[in-house]
Structure 1
Amino acid sequence: MNLKRYALFLLLTAFCLPALAQRDTVSLNTIVTKTSKQIATYPFEKVYLHLDKPYYAAGDTIWFKAYVTMDNHLPTQISNVVYVDIANGQDSISRLLKLPIVNGVASGSLPLLPADFRQGNYHLRAYTAYMRNYEPEYFFNKNVVIGNAVQNEVATNASFKSTVNGGATKVNAAITYKEQSNTLLSNKKVTWTVVSNGEEISKGKGTTDANGILTAEFTGSAGPIKNGTLVTVIDMGNRKAVTSSFPLKNFVGGNDIQFFPEGGELITGVRSKVAFKAINNNGTGTDVKGDVTDNTGTVVATITSAHLGMGFFAFTPEEGKTYKANVTYTDGNKGSYDMPRIRTSGINLSAYNNDPENLTIKISANSTYFQANQGKVYYIIAQSGGAVFFAAQTSLTSAIYSAAIPKSKFPTGLVQLTLLTDHGVALSERVVFMQHNDALNLSLTSAAKSYTTRQKVRLAVSAKNKTLPVAGNFSISVIDETKVPFDESSETTILTSLLLTSDLKGYIEKPNYYFGKDAAAADNLDILMLTQGYRRISYRNIIAGKAPNITILPEQNGLEVSGVLRNSTGMTISKGYVKLQVPSKNFFAESVTDMVGNFRFSKLNFADSSKVIITGRASNTPSRNLVVTANDETYQYPSKNNMTGDEVVNIDSTFKDYLQNSKRRYDNLHILKEVVIKSTVIKPASHSNFPALTGLPALADQTVDGSRLKGCNNLMTCLPSMLLGVTVDNNIIYLARNYNSDKKPMQVFLNGMPVDFTSLSTVSVAEVDNIEVFKNTGVSGIDAQYGTAGLVEITLKKKEKGTKVSFAQLQELIPPPNILTIMPLGYAINREFYSPKYDVIKTGNLGGDLRTTIYWNPKVVTDKTTGATFVEFYNADGRGTYKATIEGMDADGNLGRYVYRYTVK
């Protein structure tokens, strides 16, 4: 990796600080050199997904393009594979896609089959294998709302009120039920259950009133109900009962406020900014007013929020005094909070970012600290993305230093300022955001600003870096904004993701606001910097030479299959021959095992669910005495959705028009939803067919029909999302209640035979008849036998009796040990977005084209000489405003985004 791309400035003259030490600067140079070396050896990758629209309905397809970057947003040279997964509200993976990266980009799609995606909030992630070495907060994370008007016959709207009394949270829920036709469902029986962390904590039943409202009351522990869900089942009489779910984690709790002293700590005698962030029970910002008083009751500062519950005040802590913040929230509730602890001796770093040309930094020490440390050397280091852009040293000859640093030395994005001792101990930190407005100059233009329905539109694309044309790689989405309205300040964009949220921990509300035209946006962005954490770089570890814990290497060779060749006694075979075959691609490859029997096939390319056959042979060992095994694939464990502030509880009412349009469009496709055969009774297969499972309860706690697995490519990855109250960690499945206590795993059985959870990746999903879950194993003795807690039985479909099979089929059923057939996770099939073509004169069935995504193209490349290209498509039948969005980057890591609107009449 070329370190010359980093602009490193060691300012060791009086230009930087008023009193610079004339001492050896080896320690500072060591810190800078080690920091640069570490980021060169262990660089950071980022992933951003450009989606075709902000929310979806069952029956839609999520179209996306992945931009994978390294260093200062350059197209990655580290990884060649990117993963995209989506998890349901129980944090179980519903789908996992693997895509090849070419020149830093990849594109794909995720069909949302109505039978597989219930209505709710889903957690969409994107990451590389190498990124798994770091915390999931630095993945691409996005909350995606998916409605389901196809399967849902009932529309709901819920409201919650909660109070904490006697250490317990009392919750009152009011849920309104309506037919999709808007008819109130009055006098209907409803049963409800509250589940938290996989355990039932409350249940009840009731009847809807004349207005279709059910009132439910339950009690939980104090504070928010972690991962809580209210599940209701309404009796529809002669029709099938309807189940609805409502997440509680954002609604069961109260207001809260946190305080963040600039630089990290309050210090006696040093005037400091204190930022604050107030949130409501939805997890989003709420305005507050109040004051800060000392222990004598004197007001020392006034509190007034500036933006989304955030703001700041300044005061000087006095020795021997304590301080409280007294605030009033917008809902009228009040609170009194202790201020963060105050150090009696300390030094602090602060920054002022309101000058367009210079960043002003200030070092402040109180008298006690100054007297004890006068004349000692301190360092200031400023880094962005791990690269050092500024470093200086000074001796402590005055209690207050200040200096101006030209902003031109820093790139656009987050800059972390750190004050260190001459031993490399970090004392104070401050994060600022540099905004140079140097994004690519992108534009979309059309011949007219107004079009008719189904008329052909040609959009001209122009990409420039300032005034020079560039060859860029872009994606374009066109949506009917009348059907898909959305708050633009809440959008996730390539700028908000790669420049802001990917470097910060915690939820950022309305990130696109900070890149808009609001005059106060820059000031509010600086307040945001005071309230969010940034901890990618630890100077303590760098100086100590402690490297990051890298356990997963970058995938630079595409798809790989590896394993071991042994003989029947378990001894490894060196210099053995292994052949790999992918029948669907007519692909063959050969490899030779190393000294310990390992083999590896790299740079493979096959679709997901492809059958891969591995055959081993050795010159001195008969084939019947050889055994081929494949190494298990590892998968990223689901992480908590840190975007819960974007969750929508009342999806039916919030997206009513969109869901109704989705239902009409789905019905227009004339898809046969269900066929019920009443004349024949088919007895389903179950655990009772297997002697080894004798003694289990007659009824399972949960049964999943194999038909629900439609669209699943890998049983191992899909299974957790289908089961209630289970979790998977390190390829071991647990009941959630046991994972949080004694960590006893569940035992998995396949057709009555015990198997490892990882072996499910080789099971053909199409052959699964049903899946049964037992939270207790009755009198079977299985838990005692295997040291487990709970059981999952997977029953395969029965083969027809008397069916003749060929010798080849028999060999496939009972293959010799030197032949191994597996179905590893391959690349997701790349589908093309369908864009219809119309003859404007013969308009056909007008009103029938109900598309919300009008056009999607992830492969827009501009000419390097002109910076131009164009795209063409046809409008749908929707009238109103159409919104075209282009995003992307060039080969030098310059990012760009542009939004263009036109009217359809």
Structure 2
Amino acid sequence: MSKRFILSLLCAAVCRFAFSQKLDSLLEIQRKADPQEKIYVQFDKGYYNPGETIWFKAYLFTGSEISEVSKNFYAELLDEKGAVISQRTAPVFLASATGNFAIDSNFAKPFVYFRAYTVSMLNSDTSFFYSKAIRILSTKSSLAKTVATQTPPALSFMPEGGDLIASLPSELAFLATNEQGLPVAVSGSVADNTGAKLAEIKTLHDGMGRFILTPEAGKTYTATWKTAEGKQYTTSLPAVKAQGLGLKIVEGEGTKRFMIFRSGEVDDALKNLHIIAYMNQRLLFQANANLTAKTAASGNFPTKDLPSGILQITVFDGNYKPVAERITFVNNHDYEFDGDAFLAEKNFAHRGLNVVEISTSDTLPTNLSLSVVDADLNERNPMDDNIISHMLLTGDLRGKIVNPYYYFFSNDDSAAVKLDLVMMTHGWRHYNWENVFAGKVTPAKWKESSYLSLSGTVAGLPPGGYSPGLQLTGILQTADSAKNFVVLPVDRTGKVFTDGLIFYDQAKLFFNFNKKNLTFDKSMLLLDNGLRKGYVRAIPDSSVKTGLPELPPAIVAANNKANRMSLQASRLLANSKVMSTVTITAKAKTAKDRMEEKYVSGLFTGDAVNFDLVNDPLAGSYMDVFQFLQGRVAGLQINYGGGEPTLSWRGATPVVYLNEMRADVDMIQATPVSDIAYIKVFRPGSSIVSGGGGGVISIYTRKGGDAQPDPNSKGLSYISIAGYSPVKQFYSPNYATFSERDAYDDVRSTLYWNPAIFLNKSQKRLQLKFYNNDITKRFRLIMEGMNTDGKMIHVEKVIGE
């Protein structure tokens, strides 16, 4: 008997291990097929006037990590009917993307919807697109006209675990909301169909509450309740199941305790249970419960070493069918890194100079964005959604959550209890467990490209033209006159493809075949850039509009007045003539400053060894750019062997970029030095550009006034192709010098916007300058961002005189 008992225990242990290993692998299959990417967007401010620009920066996560899934970002403005007004596309760098939308000065609608997504999100549950209503302070329309107020409030009940089971005590959470999804305070009682009152109900926090009920078989239950205004309503509770399973989760010290109860009479499948806990699509814990000889079981899941986030718990029966589910929040306060943004120099005088200092104690590369606005023109609820609350909470749940940052900002012990009410009253991403156990995934409907791609088919070649080794070779000339070499191999069917390109606006591709007997004509090739075409029409959720601020009339009037002055100044400037004489008193920019402004952007800003080849008369005498660099950068080793140079720095290989696109050494070597304008060399570990562990060499070809005529491009046929949406630079005046527009009223509501702030272990502090306008007396400063470890930061301050 003893041997058989030991053998049965061993078999059970092996089965549990096999199940755990199998489920872990199956969840990994689901995660790879659907990584459940989520987006948070920081805007320069909360609402806008006609004629202004919406500036934004998006951050992308998968679970608690920065996303490495998507390369292309899509943002749209939609009207109240869900029709797309405008779309922007942008490349994703360091799990972030930036862009802007210009609002027409005659725009008369009271709000627009902002929607953002990636192809990965498009292939997943589209209800988790990032969506936000943005108020437009138009004098021609009123927000009140778009909001109805006649629909009675709704009260919904959610039993813990999913079902009401006869004879089992159940904790029910409830949520009371109005038609916009905003919380409503209610009170009342629950009675059965005989009229016997069994429980009192009263909202505890933001329309939410809870109570315990032990239902009986064959009975129905109804809540009679009223609002604070005294209006009375009735709502039926969920139907009672005759038999089944109950699940309860209790918060412990560094643990989540689960308790399972079953009815006295249940099917055999409900007597052998499997309990799992998982987070971010990864299995964390697994337990089994044998309820053959008992009706209840319990256990603990240790949580003190887990990342903060939503923990999902599912109970399966003996046939591995889900019978109860619950989400609970783990808050180990580990999601922030230490940093700050403050005014090192404060000046509220007319067009006074201010200096913002950004600092972090983190040694990891950090990606930040900063907004400074007029605090008196831009009110904001500090408990609104931000990068922390969205990535940990609202980005994973269904339904509106009011003041989501409260659950992370408050140090009150009751905040955790109230957050658990959010867990019980809001929906979440569910698995189709039948598909999971079958290893079945939904095929991706849309295909993602690695940044921009060039794909098409060459037609019209004579017989035998599609021979091995056939290529289209040429030059990609972007809107800013920068040039890159492009090679498109042509296969035997005429198809061509390359990807990994990054350029903006319209570009020209000058092509020819690599075989002298063939001549290329642009009518022979139609290219696609790899970005998704068309739009997904939305059915706007009216509750999304509840994010719109209720502004005092004085705030609206002040914005309208400032906007009228700003539009008038713009019109006067557009119609004015250039001033004949201007006296410049400020220090002139250096040649390096001018080259940085003209060529360098985003992740490639920062301290580096710089070379200006435009103003170096001897640069053109070198065989290639690597020969030019030899001996000029301490520690960088460049050796030639067999004609192709090899690069080495501190035992690793530097990464090379051409016009901020990853490039091969042979491609760079083939670029004439006379075409190169500027070089930045980042030491190992000093850059957050991808793959920069052995240093980064960033090379820029000439453009604009620096470009030299290219005799080889004469006569080449070219094709026009669209790139990412054109990049607009935020205008920040420099009142140390004079420009024509400075003669007009300055009533800018957004005083400073910078979506490209990058810090690392060699640069933990950064100072940024901006000038005040003519009217602002208080600044609202908001800085958000993340580091490469997925930790986040949110700093918000109102600074007055």
Pair 852,365 (structure 1): closer, same or farther in 2 beyond 3 Å: same
- Confirm whether residue 660 of structure 1 aligns to residue 561 of structure 2: yes
> Matched residues in 2 for 1:436 and 1:409: separation?
8
> Matched residues in 1 for 2:275 and 2:493: separation?
51
Pair 23,120 (structure 1): closer, same or farther in 2 beyond 3 Å: same
CA shift at 1:601, angstroms?
3.1
Give deviations 1:53-93, integer Å, cap 9, x for gaps.
1111112111111222334222x322222111111112111
**What is residue 29 of structure 1 aligned with on the other side?**
21
Question: Secondary structure, in 3 states, of the residue corresponding to 2:390?
Answer: helix
Q: Identity over aligned residues, as a percent?
A: 25
- Confirm whether residue 871 of structure 1 aligns to residue 765 of structure 2: no
Question: Secondary structure, in 3 states, of the residue corresponding to 2:68?
Answer: coil
Pair 285,634 (structure 1): closer, same or farther in 2 beyond 3 Å: same
Q: How does 1:110-509 map to 2 (within 5 A)?
A: 110-115=101-106, 117-149=107-139, 152=140, 156=142, 158=144, 246-247=145-146, 251=149, 253-353=151-251, 355-369=252-266, 372=268, 376-396=271-291, 397-438=293-334, 439-447=336-344, 452-464=349-361, 469-489=363-383, 491-509=384-402
Code of the aligned partner of 2:132: K
Give deviations 1:301-352, integer Å, cap 9, x for gaps.
1111122222222111112211011121234332212211111111122212
Query: Which region of structure 1 is more displaced relative to structure 2, 336-345 or 848-857?
Result: 848-857
- Confirm whether residue 828 of structure 1 aligns to residue 729 of structure 2: no
Pair 43,359 (structure 1): closer, same or farther in 2 beyond 3 Å: same
> Matched residues in 1 for 2:574 and 2:374: separation?
27
> Matched residues in 2 for 1:645 and 1:320: separation?
42
The answer to whether the 8 A contact 2:254-2:302 is kept is yes
- Confirm whether residue 515 of structure 1 aligns to residue 408 of structure 2: yes
Pair 886,672 (structure 1): closer, same or farther in 2 beyond 3 Å: closer
Code of the aligned partner of 1:48: Y
**What is residue 761 of structure 1 aligned with on the other side?**
none
CA shift at 1:476, angstroms?
1.1
Pair 566,670 (structure 1): closer, same or farther in 2 beyond 3 Å: closer
The answer to whether the 8 A contact 1:269-1:319 is kept is yes
- Confirm whether residue 857 of structure 1 aligns to residue 757 of structure 2: no
- Confirm whether residue 560 of structure 1 aligns to residue 453 of structure 2: yes
Query: Which region of structure 1 is more displaced relative to structure 2, 32-41 or 615-624?
Result: 615-624
**What is residue 65 of structure 2 aligned with on the other side?**
73
The answer to whether the 8 A contact 1:266-1:340 is kept is yes
Pair 91,261 (structure 1): closer, same or farther in 2 beyond 3 Å: same
> Matched residues in 1 for 2:758 and 2:471: separation?
44
**Equivalent of 2:426 in 525, 532, 535:** 532
Question: Secondary structure, in 3 states, of the residue corresponding to 1:659?
Answer: helix
- Confirm whether residue 91 of structure 1 aligns to residue 65 of structure 2: no
Code of the aligned partner of 2:245: I
CA shift at 1:577, angstroms?
4.8
- Confirm whether residue 58 of structure 1 aligns to residue 46 of structure 2: no
The answer to whether the 8 A contact 1:382-1:417 is kept is yes
- Count how many residue pairs are aligned between Structure 1 and Structure 2: 637
Give deviations 1:89-144, integer Å, cap 9, x for gaps.
121111111112222222222222224x4322211122222221112222222111
Gaps of 5+ in 2: 1-10, 576-715
- Confirm whether residue 646 of structure 1 aligns to residue 546 of structure 2: yes
Question: Secondary structure, in 3 states, of the residue corresponding to 1:661?
Answer: helix
Pair 623,845 (structure 1): closer, same or farther in 2 beyond 3 Å: closer
The answer to whether the 8 A contact 1:31-1:424 is kept is no
CA shift at 1:595, angstroms?
3.9
The answer to whether the 8 A contact 1:580-1:614 is kept is yes
Give deviations 1:687-737, integer Å, cap 9, x for gaps.
xxxxxxxxxxxxxxxxxxxxxxxxxxxxxxxxxxxxxxxxxxxxxxxxxxx
> Matched residues in 1 for 2:447 and 2:63: separation?
17
CA shift at 1:472, angstroms?
1.3
CA shift at 1:480, angstroms?
1.6
CA shift at 1:546, angstroms?
0.4
Code of the aligned partner of 1:127: Y
Code of the aligned partner of 1:385: N
> Matched residues in 2 for 1:388 and 1:378: separation?
17
Question: Secondary structure, in 3 states, of the residue corresponding to 1:511?
Answer: coil
CA shift at 1:298, angstroms?
0.9
Code of the aligned partner of 2:115: R
**What is residue 6 of structure 2 aligned with on the other side?**
none
Question: Secondary structure, in 3 states, of the residue corresponding to 2:775?
Answer: coil
**What is residue 891 of structure 1 aligned with on the other side?**
788
Query: Which region of structure 1 is more displaced relative to structure 2, 322-331 or 259-268?
Result: 322-331
Give deviations 1:631-661, integer Å, cap 9, x for gaps.
5853341323345242659889583432332
Q: How does 1:414-813 map to 2 (within 5 A)?
A: 414-438=310-334, 439-447=336-344, 452-464=349-361, 469-489=363-383, 491-517=384-410, 519=412, 520-556=414-450, 558-567=451-460, 577-578=471-472, 582-583=476-477, 584=479, 585=481, 586-587=483-484, 589-610=486-507, 627-630=524-527, 633-642=532-541, 644-646=544-546, 648=548, 653=553, 655-670=556-571
CA shift at 1:415, angstroms?
1.2
Give deviations 1:260-310, integer Å, cap 9, x for gaps.
111111111111111122221333221111111001111111111122222
> Matched residues in 2 for 1:823 and 1:847: separation?
39
The answer to whether the 8 A contact 1:565-1:597 is kept is yes
Pair 673,392 (structure 1): closer, same or farther in 2 beyond 3 Å: same
Compute the TM-score of the two structures, normalised by the length of structure 1: 0.64
Pair 305,671 (structure 1): closer, same or farther in 2 beyond 3 Å: farther
Question: Secondary structure, in 3 states, of the residue corresponding to 1:495?
Answer: helix
> Matched residues in 1 for 2:121 and 2:174: separation?
31
**What is residue 35 of structure 2 aligned with on the other side?**
43
> Matched residues in 2 for 1:569 and 1:349: separation?
73
> Matched residues in 2 for 1:572 and 1:272: separation?
76
Pair 458,380 (structure 1): closer, same or farther in 2 beyond 3 Å: same
* RMSD of equivalent CA atoms: 3.6
- Confirm whether residue 108 of structure 1 aligns to residue 99 of structure 2: yes
> Matched residues in 2 for 1:267 and 1:621: separation?
78
> Matched residues in 2 for 1:401 and 1:845: separation?
74
Code of the aligned partner of 1:504: L
**What is residue 203 of structure 1 aligned with on the other side?**
none
The answer to whether the 8 A contact 2:455-2:498 is kept is yes
> Matched residues in 2 for 1:867 and 1:624: separation?
53
CA shift at 1:513, angstroms?
2.7
Query: Which region of structure 1 is more displaced relative to structure 2, 81-90 or 867-876?
Result: 867-876
Give deviations 1:528-570, integer Å, cap 9, x for gaps.
11111112533321111102322333332x1112122344999
> Matched residues in 1 for 2:440 and 2:770: separation?
54
Question: Secondary structure, in 3 states, of the residue corresponding to 1:408?
Answer: coil
Pair 311,570 (structure 1): closer, same or farther in 2 beyond 3 Å: farther
The answer to whether the 8 A contact 1:567-1:573 is kept is no
Code of the aligned partner of 2:533: T
CA shift at 1:866, angstroms?
6.8
Gaps of 5+ in 1: 1-19, 159-245, 675-817
Code of the aligned partner of 2:171: K
Pair 457,649 (structure 1): closer, same or farther in 2 beyond 3 Å: closer
